[in-house]
Structure 1
Amino acid sequence: MTSMAASAHLPLEQPQPPPGLRERKKIKTRMAIRRAAYRLIAEQGYEATTVEQIAAAAEVSPSTVFRYFPAKEDIVLTDEYDPVLVSLLRARPVDEPPLESLRLILTEVVAAALENEPEEMRQRARLLLEAPAVRARMTETMTGTSQLLARPIADRAGRDPDDLEVRVFTAAVMGALRETLFHWAERGLDDDPVALVDRALDVLKGGLRLQRG
Structure 2
Amino acid sequence: MRERHSTLREQRRAETQRMIQVHAVRLFVERGYDGATVNDIAEAAGVSPMTVYRHFPTKEDLVLVDQNALLVAEQIAATPAGQPLVRRIGNALVDSARTLAAGDDRFLLARLRLMISTPALRARHLDNHYVLQQAIVDGLGDEAADPDVAFQAAAAASACLAAMHTALVRWAKDDGRTDLPDLIAKALAAAFGDGTPRRG
Q: Place the TM-score, normalised by the shorter chain, in its bin.
A: 0.7 to 0.9
CA contact (8 A) 2:27 2:41 kept: yes
CA deviation string 1:168-213 (max 9, x = no partner): 2222222222222122223444332222200121134239xxxxxx
Hey, what's the Cα distance between the residues in 1 that align with 2:149 and 2:84?
19
Correspondence for 2:133 = 146
**Which one of 43, 52, 57 corresponds to residue 30 of structure 2?**
43
Hey, what's the Cα distance between the residues in 1 that align with 2:147 and 2:36?
43
Cα deviation for residue 162 of structure 1 reads 8.3
Over aligned residue pairs, what C-alpha RMSD do you find? 2.5
Kindly indicate whether residue 115 of structure 2 is the aligned counterpart of residue 124 of structure 1.
no
Where has structure 1 moved over 6 Å in runs of 4 or more? none
Hey, what's the Cα distance between the residues in 2 that align with 1:161 and 1:54?
46
Correspondence for 2:162 = 175
**Which one of 71, 74, 82 corresponds to residue 95 of structure 1?**
82
Matched position secondary structure for 2:60: helix
TM-score calculated relative to the size of structure 1: 0.78
Hey, what's the Cα distance between the residues in 2 that align with 1:203 and 1:133?
30
Hey, what's the Cα distance between the residues in 2 that align with 1:83 and 1:129?
22
Q: How many residues align?
A: 190
Correspondence for 1:79 = 66
Correspondence for 2:153 = 166
Q: Which amino acid aligns with 1:82?
A: A
TM-score calculated relative to the size of structure 2: 0.82
Hey, what's the Cα distance between the residues in 1 that align with 2:67 and 2:144?
26
The share of aligned pairs that are identical, in percent, is 29
Correspondence for 1:57 = 44
**5+ unaligned residues in a row in structure 2: which ranges?**
195-200
Comparing 105-114 with 187-196, greater Cα deviation is found at: 187-196
**5+ unaligned residues in a row in structure 1: which ranges?**
1-16, 208-213
Kindly indicate whether residue 99 of structure 2 is the aligned counterpart of residue 112 of structure 1.
yes
The answer to which structure, 1 or 2, has the higher relative contact order (CA under 8 A, 6+ apart) is 1
